A and B are shown apart, each in its own frame.
Chain A
Amino acid sequence: MTQTNTVPSPSQRRGVWRGMLKQIRRPGVAIAVAVVIMLVAMSIFPGLFTSQDPNLQSILSRLKGPMFEDRSGVLHVLGTDQLGRDIWARIVYGARTTLIVSIGAVLVSAALGIFLGLIGGYVGGVTDAVILRLIDMQLAFPVILLVIGAVAVTGQSLAALIFLMGLASWPTFARVIRSEVLTLRDREFVEAARSIGATQSRIILRHIVPNVLSVIMVVATFELSTMILIEATLSFLGVGVQPPTPTWGGMISEGQRYLSQAWTVSLFPGLVISITILAINTLGDELRDLLDPRLARTEN
């Protein structure tokens, strides 16, 4: 029933950045942007956010609550952990490792998953069947177990951890992309591209990929949160990033043993993870909408 508006002013043509700037005026988006900027700043210049050493231990001031001031007059805003280290400082210094590991792992799994998903969905046939079986096999095998086993073989290094975590979770991308491509492949505009003689790679890159971009965004933000949690689990099991290097997940798992005495030790890193994920998801949604010309807001 809705007749398409055929007379939009030509000046309001897209520009993702302009759109983004406009969206920032909305409070939710503004907060999300601020959070992400702060996280990035934290990972690059942790010294700006805290003057304390994240690894400085003090047996005397173990497991203290927020706003604890120790004997030397230093204020521990979020309290201290089981070794008397400042929780805020550890959160700040943990940002870098946590983000590098989780973003890195998402990139690895995205690269692999998108590639296989595109191929499987577009080519179909035997290739698709093989990829599907691979996905099933991977899914049937617990991610954590896989990484533990692999880490035992490769030894612990940040690069290996990133790579293995990524390798272990590509099926999420592959599955979603594949099913999306399956429906796109039969759409008339893809057939139209074939009818003008476009090559397969051109069709995939110019027509399929831009149309699955929004799905990729959604899966990626979702996966980012999963990765932060997996990293936490791995740290808890002792195969993640090795102490004393702080990571948020590691902090939660270390604090878990002291929940009854000092619940804040786990609470604050947990809160930070939640805020981060919320911010990233908000931005992901926003970006997806901006990338879709059909959803581009037409009012000025």
Chain B
Amino acid sequence: MAETLLDVRNLSTAFVNGSKKVTVVDDVSFSVAPGRTLAIVGESGCGKSILSLSMIRLVPDTARTVGQILMDGEDLAAVSPQRMRQIRGGKIGMIFQEPMTSLNPIMTVGAQLSEALKLHVPELNAAERHERAVEGLRRVRLPAPEAQFHRYPHELSGGMRQRVMIAMALSCEPELLIADEPTTALDVTVQAEILALLGDLQRDTGMAVILITHDLGVVAEFADEVMVMYAGRIVERGTVGEILSDPQHPYTIGLMGSIPRFGSDDRLLAIEGTVPALSAMPPGCRFAPRCVFAVPRCAGESPVLREVTAGHAVSCHFAPLEDNL
């Protein structure tokens, strides 16, 4: 597909503390096409949240980001802070895991929606803003949107709050939606609803979605392309079918083996060990200390991300494993 909306090239983010430098996102490149969903999969500490924050330049001040973030011919890494503010909430919408902490507890839902509109569509008058805010709430299938408009976040259930967050993120018709674990805090029954809603909205608006999650079930339900991250690096990238039916990287295989009910063995095929601390990254392949296939070469030499089939790239010296080991 030639058309790309967002093209991230060689993005790295490091936290600098005095003389110490901790690289959280290490040389990550990817692109997203309009109307498509890219899922970034990984466990805590893999850098997926910092990566998404780096894209919209919301990382803490102690972080340094290098690389290019091209969107519509603009390099987001280089635009002015004012322009970045316009883009955030304008061309790029965001939703987060815990909607309660992302909403202001002392403002009504309607007031918060109107505020977002005021910032990004200043030409609207108060009545138009109100109308669009209610329309936004209706669009996320919130029951009785007129009534919800005047309610406070704590009066809503978790699922309803997440709908409000989605309404806010979509109020300015973004071209890209970044959803960071949008359903992790929700019940499965509500999760199914929210995912279906996001899917419908994506079809209607043609926006691209970057979905950050640790749940392969959610990935299967929603994603087109998948990027698996481990310890700040991309370890595998491909379409959702390729990743789930033909996982190549030992980490991806391990993740699938860790899900209860996979495999015949009564014991789960857990990945032993823990994600290395950011300040103590192993040299070479970062997964090597936990990898059952690891050989001395892995600790000495960082594997490069290379394609095993067109579009399906793996960062392992031995992929495909069954032929090379």
* A residues neighboring B (CB under 8 Å): 1-7
Instruction: Return the 5 tightest CB-CB contacts between A and B, nearest first.
Output: A3-B45, A5-B277, A3-B277, A3-B275, A1-B49
Smallest beta-carbon distance A125→chain B, Å: 25
B210 located at the interface, meaning its Cβ lies under 8 Å from any Cβ of chain A in the complex? no
Chain B contacts of A5 at CB under 8 A?
Answer: 277, 279-280
Contact, CB under 8 Å: B50 / A7: no
Cβ < 8 Å to A, chain B residues 41-100: 44-45, 47, 49-50
Of A1, A4, A6, A7, which one neighbours B24 at CB under 8 angstroms?
A: A1
Expressed in whole angstroms, the Cα–Cα distance for A1 and B45 within the complex equals 5
- Classify the secondary structure of A's interface with B: loop
Contact, CB under 8 Å: B277 / A4: yes
Given contacts A1-B45, A3-B44, 12 further A-B contacts (CB under 8 A): A1-B44, A1-B47, A1-B49, A2-B45, A2-B278, A3-B45, A3-B275, A3-B277, A5-B277, A5-B280, A7-B277, A7-B280
Smallest beta-carbon distance B277→chain A, Å: 5
Contact, CB under 8 Å: B49 / A6: no
CB pairs A–B below 8 angstroms (16 shown): A1-B24, A1-B44, A1-B45, A2-B45, A3-B44, A3-B45, A3-B274, A3-B275, A3-B277, A3-B278, A4-B277, A5-B277, A5-B279, A6-B274, A6-B277, A7-B277
Q: Which chain A residue has the least Cβ–Cβ distance from B45? A: A3
Smallest beta-carbon distance B313→chain A, Å: 25
* B residues neighboring A (CB under 8 Å): 24, 44-45, 47, 49-50, 274-280
Smallest beta-carbon distance A133→chain B, Å: 29
Q: Which chain A residue has the least Cβ–Cβ distance from B275? A: A3
Smallest beta-carbon distance A96→chain B, Å: 44
Chain A contacts of B49 at CB under 8 A?
Answer: 1
Chain B contacts of A1 at CB under 8 A?
Answer: 24, 44-45, 47, 49-50
Chain A contacts of B278 at CB under 8 A?
Answer: 2-3
Smallest beta-carbon distance A3→chain B, Å: 4
Chain A contacts of B45 at CB under 8 A?
Answer: 1-3
Smallest beta-carbon distance A295→chain B, Å: 16
Q: Which chain A residue has the least Cβ–Cβ distance from B278? A: A3
Expressed in whole angstroms, the Cα–Cα distance for A5 and B280 within the complex equals 9
Chain A contacts of B279 at CB under 8 A?
Answer: 5
Expressed in whole angstroms, the Cα–Cα distance for A3 and B47 within the complex equals 10
Chain A contacts of B47 at CB under 8 A?
Answer: 1
Q: Which chain A residue has the least Cβ–Cβ distance from B50? A: A1
Expressed in whole angstroms, the Cα–Cα distance for A130 and B280 within the complex equals 54
Smallest beta-carbon distance A41→chain B, Å: 38
Chain A contacts of B274 at CB under 8 A?
Answer: 3, 6
Q: Which chain B residue has the least Cβ–Cβ distance from A5? A: B277
Chain A contacts of B275 at CB under 8 A?
Answer: 3
Chain B contacts of A6 at CB under 8 A?
Answer: 274, 277
Expressed in whole angstroms, the Cα–Cα distance for A7 and B280 within the complex equals 9
Expressed in whole angstroms, the Cα–Cα distance for A146 and B24 within the complex equals 60
Chain B contacts of A3 at CB under 8 A?
Answer: 44-45, 274-278
Expressed in whole angstroms, the Cα–Cα distance for A2 and B24 within the complex equals 9
Smallest beta-carbon distance A226→chain B, Å: 32
